[in-house]
Structure 1
Amino acid sequence: MTTNGQMEYTTADAVVAELVRAGVEVVFGVVSIHNMPIYDALLREGSIRIVCSRGESGAANMADGYARSTGKLGVVITSTGSGAANAAGSLVEAWAAGTPVLHLTGEVGSKYLGTGRGYIHECKDQLSMMKGCCKEAYRLRKPEQAASVVRQAIVTATTAPAGPVSLEIPIDFQSAIIPQSKIESVQVACATQAAPVIPAEVVDQLANSRRPVIWAGGGVISAGASKELTKLAELTGAAVITSQSGKGSIPEDHPQCIGHFAAYEAVKELLKNADLLVSVGVRFRGNETVNWKVTAPEAHISIDADLSAFNRNYEVTHGLLGEAKPILAALNEALQAKSVAPEAAYVEEVKSVREKVRAILRETLGPYEAIVDGMRRVLPKDAILVRDVTVPANVWGSRLFEIYEPRTSIHASGGGIGQGLPTALGAQMGQQDRVVVLMAGDGGYMLNVGEMPVAVQENLPLIVLLFDDAGYGVLRNIQDAAYGRQVAVDLVSPDFVMLAKSMGYESNRVGSPEELVNELEAAVARRKPTMIVVDMNAVGPMAKPFGGPPGAADAFKPKKL
């Protein structure tokens, strides 16, 4: 829109200006009659790359994967009503993972909001729907406030504890001409930032501990505190357990890293006999603690940026509120001043537990042991492994495949299937020079299979390892264990190799660990979209069937409440 040859400044322009100010480089979404002004403003501004997903669900997952692989803000743009609702499940996943995502959605014309008159794409209460699946949700109520409301949404999304934030903008507001206000953040410069003051009793407790355990979660990675965490472990001799989200918070070849094995008996016994637990940015999810049946030591120092985290799942004796990085650095400095030395015998015990749980798991794998070892041998150390919910991912992809760096392990925190493909596409968009590999199963993969062309359109060299067992393998095994029978788990799928080739991927089907590793090595070298379909029937069964997370089958057996 122009007046006297000059482009008028609109709400959409203000939205885009705030994205640029926040350093946004890429957005994911689906164009619609309820967001076209924003898309046009992006085009005119020109610096932000627009990735066209094939559905709003996939777009939100892409923004999530992008944010997880980079640590930057992920941005997704959707339409109104059903378009926003399509993104809801993926925003729940971002909420579960604590990912900073900004969701920009249209809304019906402002004078029709809440009237139920049948305005196209109308939703009865879109704002409440978005509040239910996000950290927070806002509605722009006055076009002139666009810059401040967008900036507030970004601050909310990125402030610890981070999470997705939805902002709905009525369609008539998006094209409204508004003043080009400049809102500047003015702060008093501070020459030095004071280091956190750690209570003396906390330092003493750590210094005097002889059997400490550190439980590291995703908060370590989001805070960029991996080096500090590793140093704390080395100073104290602590065993380090990681949550799924905490994988990569300490290199998994470190002799003190037990890893994502909290529910294993040897680790539960180690915790039972520990004299101190230090938890850092961890949620203690039910599926990682056998629904909180894993016993924690009475002495528990918890470090978290979320005040509501303390005493939510395990009782805390000392809660240290704040970002993990400066708190851990201050703890390390205080411990070094005390000349703390780890107990050699305990360090050896930790190494023994680490080796024991891995050996126990390896005994269950059968031919898949050669696959995990081959994958780790072929893939670069900084490769990003994205895992959808599937048997191989649950059993060994999240435990035995070693992760050496933060932000190179991405998984479905909320447990929803089918989100792996778009999440991996977002991760690859954020780290285009890295090798990104997706582990997925045939059942879940079909939920977002339509996003496959994005890799070709955006020239993303994503590698998909599709483990094909013709159904929902995880649920099959849980049903067998719970009921001794199966229902609604067998699926007819397309010829995945033909499907992949029709979408521009290189693709082959393999039936042995050796074939898989050879194909994977070729895929890493070619740097083009690739799908390797793993015929699980040809590879053969695991030595021990996977029955779901600990206690999963028992939860479904008939019982009195």
Structure 2
Amino acid sequence: MKNQEEIVFTTADAVVKELVQAGVEVAFGIVSIHNMPIYDAILRDGNIKLICSRGESGAVNMADGYARATGKLGVVITSTGTGAGNAAGSLVEAWAAGVPLLHLTGEVASPYLGTGKGYIHECKDQLSMMSGACKNAVRLRRPEQTAGVVRKAIEEALTAPTGPVSLEIPIDFQSAIIEDVSIDKVQVDIFKPQLTTVIPDIAISKISEARRPVIWAGGGVISANASKELTNLAEILGAAVITSQSGKGSIPEDHEQCIGHFAANESTKEFLRNADLLISVGVRFRGNETSNWKVPVPEEHISIDADFNAINRNYKATVGLVGDAKDILSALINKIDEKSISVLPSYIEEVRSLRNEVRGQLRKTLGPFEQFVDGMREILPRDTILVRDVTVQANVWGSRIFDIYEPRTSIHASGGGIGQGLPTAIGAQLGCPHQTVVLMAGDGGFMVNVGEMVTAAEENLPIIVVLFDDSGYGVLRNIQEAAYGRQVAVNLLSPDFVKLAESMHFESARIGSGDEFVTELKKATERRKPTMIVVDMEAVGPMAKPFGGPPGAAESFKPKKL
């Protein structure tokens, strides 16, 4: 006969049962006295691989990177109070990027919630803190409701607009013995007609009449797995395709109609002024990507988004189509009569010309780093996942000239926070073990989560870190210099990164030229072990034109009357 420990079913077991049922294979986090029952339940169940990060912030980034690279739900488990607070910043990034993520956090024992008695790890109002960082935050109120509450939290995280959902479970509830309840969601549609995607005639009319159409593709295309449909529509219409940062890979960037992530470029702005139709698909129209919404768009604008609130949020739409991008694009393609398309015969050549022009303009600013981008694209496999922290080289050419060919192979900090690249790359590599994962990072941001190097080594992940070392915050240096002609708080003492990497079980080398970089990158790609290439920025030399931050950044910081 089994002993009592083997036959009891607890709240923690119910949590794990729901995770497994949802297809969760990996969870990230740090074990604590306020989540230990959940960890033990995962161990006993045996279906979920636990990744032990070195900080809660990094754990969330790992779950984030895993979700972005795979399209699956990311799961992270943290402690209470300070542990949950450490996770908050990275949860904000997941929220900004619309990443489906479940954050499981403990809470103090239920009798002490909100009492201020000083229970260990107590936070004054943890639920509000998590609510501010996430799509939603909920607290388990009764252990018997665990299965339903977890199921709903997972569903909400995965429902468009997707995002992180935080679920806090008081520590005394986690070990509570409850009944094992199966919950099934029943949808009865016997008396209801099946919903179909209906495209209004006005949308087809505007598309047919357009002579100079532009498609602006965002992260919503990738979330909806609609890249093939988007590319197909662009080819049918002969439209130019601009991508947002999050939308890179929604169309292969070597496609002749792909302008790419160049919306704020002056030549692209002029092109848009002459366009007569914009079709935006899953685009946030972020301030830093639109010169704070000064990029002009055509008066005729068909906005496609899964979120009702996205329509008219940043740019006025004449037609709003709300729903799944894949379904809507498929319906458009089926309804459009190709013979009715009115695109000018010379338009495709204009698109090609703009594509080459914006890339050529940027290449002229790179100086010695032109060899870096060309070497990376030549050496790295087509399906390489490029993760970019916020650093000069990533912003200037990593996000624009390094072509992305496939969805989910471009990851960047949507919220603009530094230091999240390393753990995000770790999560992406865990989710896609057979693909090459490369991180571009600067020395300043890299030190924020440097301890996660050991996590990568512990899991024997073959990530390649390209670290641009200029002993400071390079982006801010340039903005300060342009705005004030002086610098403050941007110069940093760098460690010996090669020795640091080697102590963290990484292969490492310091390089000072493009030729050396290409040689080391080839070695790193072939060895399939954790590797760091440290780029000595002083030895390589400056870019031909300093990067001054996003368009208008320096001007916005100069003294002025409001």
TM-score tier, shorter chain, comes to: over 0.9
Judged with a 3 Å threshold, the aligned counterparts in structure 2 of structure 1 residues 469 and 95 are, in CA distance, closer, same or farther, namely same
Matched, 1:529 2:530: yes
Instruction: Give 3-state SS (helix, strand or coil) of 1:416's partner.
Output: coil
- Residue deviations 1:33-75, cap 9 Å, x none? 0000000000000010000000000000000000000000000
Instruction: Give 3-state SS (helix, strand or coil) of 2:390's partner.
Output: coil
Distance across 2 between alignment mates of 1:442 and 1:506: 17
1:182 paired residue number: 182
- Residue deviations 1:213-268, cap 9 Å, x none? 11110000000000110111111111101000000000000011000000111100
- Residue deviations 1:122-172, cap 9 Å, x none? 000000000000000000000000000000000000001100000000000
Q: CA deviation at 1:343?
A: 2.8
Instruction: Give 3-state SS (helix, strand or coil) of 2:129's partner.
Output: helix
Q: How does 1:37-48 map to 2 (within 5 A)?
A: 37-48=37-48
Q: 2:213·2:343 contact (CA, 8 Å) conserved in 1?
A: no
Distance across 1 between alignment mates of 2:160 and 2:391: 30
2:319 paired residue number: 318
- Residue deviations 1:109-131, cap 9 Å, x none? 00100000000000000000000
Distance across 2 between alignment mates of 1:140 and 1:271: 50
2:395 paired residue number: 394
Matched, 1:414 2:415: yes
1:118 paired residue number: 118
Amino acid at match of 1:550: P
- Residue deviations 1:64-88, cap 9 Å, x none? 0000000000000000000000000
Q: CA deviation at 1:7?
A: 2.1
1:270 paired residue number: 271
Q: CA deviation at 1:340?
A: 3.1
1:358 paired residue number: 359
Q: 1:195·1:326 contact (CA, 8 Å) conserved in 2?
A: no
Instruction: Give 3-state SS (helix, strand or coil) of 1:407's partner.
Output: coil
Q: 2:218·2:247 contact (CA, 8 Å) conserved in 1?
A: yes
Deviates more, 1:513-522 or 1:81-90: 513-522
Distance across 1 between alignment mates of 2:549 and 2:382: 29
2:476 paired residue number: 475
Distance across 2 between alignment mates of 1:337 and 1:13: 56
Distance across 2 between alignment mates of 1:170 and 1:75: 18
Distance across 1 between alignment mates of 2:93 and 2:195: 35
Q: CA deviation at 1:456?
A: 1.2
Distance across 2 between alignment mates of 1:479 and 1:229: 40
1:462 paired residue number: 463
Matched, 1:439 2:440: yes
Distance across 1 between alignment mates of 2:477 and 2:186: 58
Distance across 1 between alignment mates of 2:265 and 2:102: 37
Judged with a 3 Å threshold, the aligned counterparts in structure 2 of structure 1 residues 383 and 193 are, in CA distance, closer, same or farther, namely farther
Distance across 1 between alignment mates of 2:498 and 2:148: 49
2:500 paired residue number: 499
Distance across 2 between alignment mates of 1:342 and 1:229: 17
Matched, 1:127 2:120: no
1:423 paired residue number: 424
Q: 1:207·1:338 contact (CA, 8 Å) conserved in 2?
A: no
Amino acid at match of 1:364: T
Amino acid at match of 1:539: V
Q: How does 1:153-552 map to 2 (within 5 A)?
A: 153-188=153-188, 194-336=195-337, 338-340=339-341, 342-552=343-553
Distance across 1 between alignment mates of 2:408 and 2:263: 21
Distance across 1 between alignment mates of 2:31 and 2:254: 45
1:556 paired residue number: 557
Mark the runs of 5 or more structure 2 residues left unpaired by the alignment.
none
Distance across 1 between alignment mates of 2:389 and 2:409: 14
Q: 1:219·1:246 contact (CA, 8 Å) conserved in 2?
A: yes
Q: CA deviation at 1:187?
A: 3.1
Instruction: Give 3-state SS (helix, strand or coil) of 1:173's partner.
Output: helix
The TM-score normalised by the length of structure 2 is: 0.98
1:76 paired residue number: 76
Q: 1:235·1:342 contact (CA, 8 Å) conserved in 2?
A: no
Distance across 1 between alignment mates of 2:439 and 2:324: 31
Amino acid at match of 2:551: P
Percent identity (aligned): 73
Amino acid at match of 1:231: N
Q: 1:456·1:504 contact (CA, 8 Å) conserved in 2?
A: yes
Distance across 2 between alignment mates of 1:336 and 1:396: 39
Q: How does 1:24-43 map to 2 (within 5 A)?
A: 24-43=24-43
Q: CA deviation at 1:208?
A: 1.2
Q: 2:444·2:473 contact (CA, 8 Å) conserved in 1?
A: yes
2:102 paired residue number: 102
Q: How does 1:56-95 map to 2 (within 5 A)?
A: 56-95=56-95
- Residue deviations 1:397-421, cap 9 Å, x none? 0000000000000000000000000
Distance across 2 between alignment mates of 1:328 and 1:52: 41
Q: 1:482·1:553 contact (CA, 8 Å) conserved in 2?
A: yes
1:22 paired residue number: 22
1:54 paired residue number: 54
Amino acid at match of 2:80: T
Distance across 2 between alignment mates of 1:461 and 1:36: 30
Instruction: Give 3-state SS (helix, strand or coil) of 2:351's partner.
Output: helix
Distance across 1 between alignment mates of 2:495 and 2:15: 42
Distance across 2 between alignment mates of 1:377 and 1:551: 33
The TM-score normalised by the length of structure 1 is: 0.98
Deviates more, 1:73-82 or 1:182-191: 182-191
Instruction: Give 3-state SS (helix, strand or coil) of 2:367's partner.
Output: coil
Q: 1:80·1:122 contact (CA, 8 Å) conserved in 2?
A: yes
**What number of residue pairs does the alignment pair up?**
560
Q: CA deviation at 1:493?
A: 1.5
Instruction: Give 3-state SS (helix, strand or coil) of 2:119's partner.
Output: coil
Q: How does 1:2-21 map to 2 (within 5 A)?
A: 4=4, 6-21=6-21
- Residue deviations 1:462-490, cap 9 Å, x none? 10000000100000000000000001111
Distance across 1 between alignment mates of 2:337 and 2:344: 15
